[in-house]
């Protein structure tokens, strides 16, 4: 594990690649002062549903300003999305080995009235880290810098991800693998519900530095 900090975006139940960075570095700076980009893992995650990969998006309020800082992005309660996301997780993972152990922990966060996306994401991230016995120091940026060390703020994204030589996803048990085959780099929720605390081994083995 590196003693340096990695720079990451905020992420809604981020993918395994995201948590590999938290495993590989002793601390993480979560970017709060960027201009908020759309269609990223900042407000969406991908899980394994019965019919294949399923994208879940947290709706956010529109701003009167052309550009808004990530730290100021507010969650919208339009469409009863909290209930829909919880139901999607139940449908996807109620037959997984660890769902019954963790379901209440996740439900408690979905039931809390978070106003800001970054706070909601942070609560889920800390829960996931706790369940994995992963203990990175998490902090937020207070200003934006174009160039930072260990910059992973934009390489982890659902569309057109950048090459990441430090990440090599390894297969693990998934509920619907017999239908769809192994689906790599899904939300950390997939890893947790399927493997529980042993998910930490998958993070370790998916970090290429530890595979060398």
Domain locations along the chain: 2-211
pLDDT digits (tens, 9 = 90+) for 23-39: 999 899 999 999 999 99
Alpha-carbon distance of 108 to 152, in angstroms, equals 30
DSSP 53: E
What pTM, to 2 d.p., does this model score?
A: 0.94
pLDDT digits (tens, 9 = 90+) for 70-111: 999 999 988 899 999 999 999 999 999 999 999 999 999 999
pLDDT digits (tens, 9 = 90+) for 35-47: 999 999 999 999 9
pLDDT at 211 over 60: no
Those residues whose C-beta lies under 8 Å from the C-beta of residue 78, and which sit 6 or more positions away, are 59
Across 39-61, b (16+ Cβ under 10 Å) vs e yields ebbbbbbbbbbeeeebebebebe
Q: What is the pLDDT of residue 91?
A: 97
Alpha-carbon distance of 59 to 84, in angstroms, equals 12
């Amino acid at each position: 594990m590196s003693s340096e900090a990695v720079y990451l975006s905020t992420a809604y139940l981020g993918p395994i690649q995201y948590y590999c960075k938290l495993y590989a570095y002793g601390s993480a700076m979560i970017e709060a002062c960027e201009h908020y980009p759309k269609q990223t893992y900042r407000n969406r995650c991908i899980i394994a549903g019965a019919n294949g990969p399923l994208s879940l998006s947290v709706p956010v309020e529109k701003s009167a300003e052309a550009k808004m800082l990530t730290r100021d992005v507010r969650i919208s309660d339009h469409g009863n999305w909290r209930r829909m996301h919880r139901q999607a997780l139940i449908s996807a993972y109620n037959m997984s080995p660890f769902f019954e152990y963790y379901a209440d922990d996740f439900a408690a966060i979905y039931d809390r009235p978070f106003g800001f996306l970054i706070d909601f994401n942070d609560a889920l991230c800390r829960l996931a880290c706790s369940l994995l016995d992963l203990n990175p120091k998490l902090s937020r940026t207070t200003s934006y810098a174009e160039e930072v060390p260990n910059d992973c703020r934009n390489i982890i994204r659902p569309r057109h991800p950048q090459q990441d030589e430090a990440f090599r996803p390894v297969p693990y048990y998934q509920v619907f693998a017999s239908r769809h085959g192994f689906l790599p780099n899904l939300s950390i929720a997939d890893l947790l519900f399927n493997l529980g605390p042993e998910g930490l081994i998958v993070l370790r083995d998916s970090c290429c530095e530890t595979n060398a």
